[in-house]
Amino acid sequence: MNIEQDAVLLRIFLGESDRWERRPLYEAIVLKARETHLAGATVLRGPMGYGQSSRLHTAKLERLSEDLPFIVEIVDSREKIEGFLPVVDAMMAESGSSGLVTWEGVKVLRYGKR
């Protein structure tokens, strides 16, 4: 798989409890990205965070949260990410997620075998 040196990092902020078709939304997005042959995706779990509601989500034992923050990061060319955005939007809308989606330009320095 080859991607351009200039690429896009798509970042999707979700809650652990967000679901799409009975599976975690973060998992569904990564599987859809793989099915679409995007270059790579990673899920990061946050121990603490808040979003639009300003409600604090934390993994601290005294305030155990059922909805910790998750971030899905996907990297590929601008064109492929632009093509994937409607898929993410539809999945988030259908799940009722109020998550945040961002993107930024990145420079890919190394990807896979040379």
Mean pLDDT of 91-105: 95
Report if residue 51 sits inside a domain. yes
* CATH value at residue 58: 3.30.70.120
Q: What is the pLDDT of residues 41-87, one digit of tens each?
A: 999 998 877 777 767 767 665 555 567 899 999 999 999 999 999 99
Domain assignment present for residue 114? The answer is: no
Put residue 72 in one of left, alpha, beta given phi > 0 → left and psi -120 to 50 → alpha. Answer: beta
Domain count, the chain: 1
Domain residues for 45?
6-107
The 6-15 sheet, strands edge to edge: 40-45, 69-76, 6-15, 100-107
Residue of 6, 5, 23 lying closest to 14 (CA atoms): 23
**Model pLDDT, residue 50:** 76
Domain assignment present for residue 47? The answer is: yes
Please indicate, yes or no, if residue 1 is contained in any of the structural domains: no
Domain assignment present for residue 71? The answer is yes
